[in-house]
């Protein structure tokens, strides 16, 4: 595609304008520049090059292959299953559903192989909620369309209770409290999330479970389910989750792939019968090893 930079577009970065003109993401535009597919006035251009009025911009964006969710024989820890739903204990390191950068090996791929079919979105079939890749623990998957609708409504209306265990750096001043702060994309790093004025409302309740010398184990209860919510809120409070590579820092002593965070309790009413269901999954060995290290037990 050829484009002559207008006076209004002068000063824009090359990757920003290419993304705007093509409809691609800024990261895709930047990658095209790095691959030598973006030219300004006939010369290869860096993503950061600032454009001037009259510059001739020429670029091509490689089209990403369409994503699909296909069944894959991957081991699953099924905590509960009936005709309407499954409750799964997801391991740390497993992505919940396919996305660019993780097109296979996800929990959805594994569940499709287990059940055959799932209702809902083609890439997120059956999913009522999600967990970050490196957060372990319980999540519910709907097997029928009606169950997905009812569980989705229950989640929206805060009738599905989720409780997490996490180890944080430092010890909070108060034994229990609530952190409120709207969460959205970090304007300085689009790969991160942050508390921003135009973000979506987010509320996290915490309570001290055990105090160590330089760390603490907390329980977390969510009123909302924003991406990276606990991690963002605790980092903003000055107590990032132990070993969090994005909002804190890695601890070389810890064998977990990422943050020491585990979704250990889940409760809701059955979408078909209305019967109360409660589940609990103990933290995985990597979390327990991390806890032993910071507590001085090992």
Q: With CA atoms as reference, report the closest residue to 6 among 57, 54, 59, 56.
A: 54
Q: With CA atoms as reference, report the closest residue to 260 among 236, 298, 293.
A: 293
**Segment holding 212, helix H or strand E:** none
Helices (H), the chain: 14-22, 26-34, 107-115, 145-156, 229-236, 285-295
Q: What is the mean pLDDT of residues 97-125?
A: 89
Q: What is the mean pLDDT of residues 100-128?
A: 90
Q: What is the mean pLDDT of residues 215-237?
A: 96
E strands, 102-182, in order: 136-142, 161-169, 176-180
Say if strands 136-142 and 261-269 run parallel, antiparallel, or are unpaired.
parallel
d(CA 18, CA 32): 9
d(CA 167, CA 290): 8
The overall average pLDDT reported for the chain is: 92
Contact 95, 111 (CB under 8 A): no
Supply the residues annotated as catalytic: 132
Is the whole-model pTM more than 0.75? yes
Helices (H), 48-118: 107-115
Residue 202 to residues 114, 164, 176: CA-CA distances in angstroms? Answer: 34, 16, 17
Q: What domains does the chain contain, in order, with CATH numbers?
A: 2-59 (3.10.290.10), 78-295 (3.30.2350.10)
- pLDDT band with cut points at 50, 70 and 90 for residue 101: low
Q: What are 177-189's pLDDT values in tens digits?
A: 999 999 998 888 8
Q: What are 47-95's pLDDT values in tens digits?
A: 999 999 899 999 988 766 567 789 999 999 999 999 999 999 999 999 9
Residue 147 has which token pair?
Answer: 């169950």
Contact 257, 134 (CB under 8 A): yes
Give buried/exposed letters for 240-257 (b at 16+ CB in 10 A, else e). bbbbbebbbeebeebebb
Q: What is the mean pLDDT of residues 135-139?
A: 97
| Whether the predicted pLDDT of 269 surpasses 70 | yes
Instruction: Please tell me the predicted confidence (pLDDT) of residue 298.
Output: 46
């Amino acid at each position: 595609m050829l484009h002559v930079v207008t006076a209004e577009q002068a000063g824009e970065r090359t990757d920003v304008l290419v993304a705007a003109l093509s409809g691609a993401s800024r990261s895709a535009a930047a990658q095209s520049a790095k691959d030598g597919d973006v030219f300004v006035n006939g010369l290869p251009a860096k993503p950061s090059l600032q454009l001037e009025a009259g510059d001739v911009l020429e670029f091509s964006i490689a089209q990403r292959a369409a994503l699909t969710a296909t069944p894959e024989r991957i081991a699953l820890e099924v905590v509960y299953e009936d005709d309407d739903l499954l409750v799964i204990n997801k391991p740390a390191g497993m992505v919940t559903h396919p996305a660019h950068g993780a097109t296979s090996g996800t929990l959805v791929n594994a569940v499709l192989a287990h059940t055959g079919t799932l209702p809902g979105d083609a890439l997120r079939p059956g999913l009522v909620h999600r967990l970050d890749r490196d957060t372990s623990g319980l999540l519910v998957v709907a097997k029928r369309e009606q169950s997905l609708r009812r569980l989705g409504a229950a989640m929206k209306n805060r009738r599905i209770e989720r409780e997490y265990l996490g180890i944080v750096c430092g010890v909070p001043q108060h034994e229990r409290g609530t952190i409120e702060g709207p969460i959205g994309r970090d304007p300085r790093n689009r790969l991160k999330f942050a508390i921003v004025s135009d973000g979506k409302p987010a509320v996290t309740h915490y309570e001290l479970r055990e105090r160590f010398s330089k760390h603490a184990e907390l329980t977390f209860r969510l009123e909302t389910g924003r991406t990276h919510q606990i991690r963002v809120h605790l980092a903003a409070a000055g107590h990032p989750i132990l070993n969090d590579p994005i909002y804190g820092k890695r601890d070389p002593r810890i064998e977990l792939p990422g943050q020491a965070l585990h979704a250990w309790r889940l409760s809701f009413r059955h979408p078909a019968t209305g019967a109360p269901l409660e589940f609990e999954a103990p933290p995985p060995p990597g979390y327990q090893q991390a806890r032993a290290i910071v507590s001085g037990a090992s």
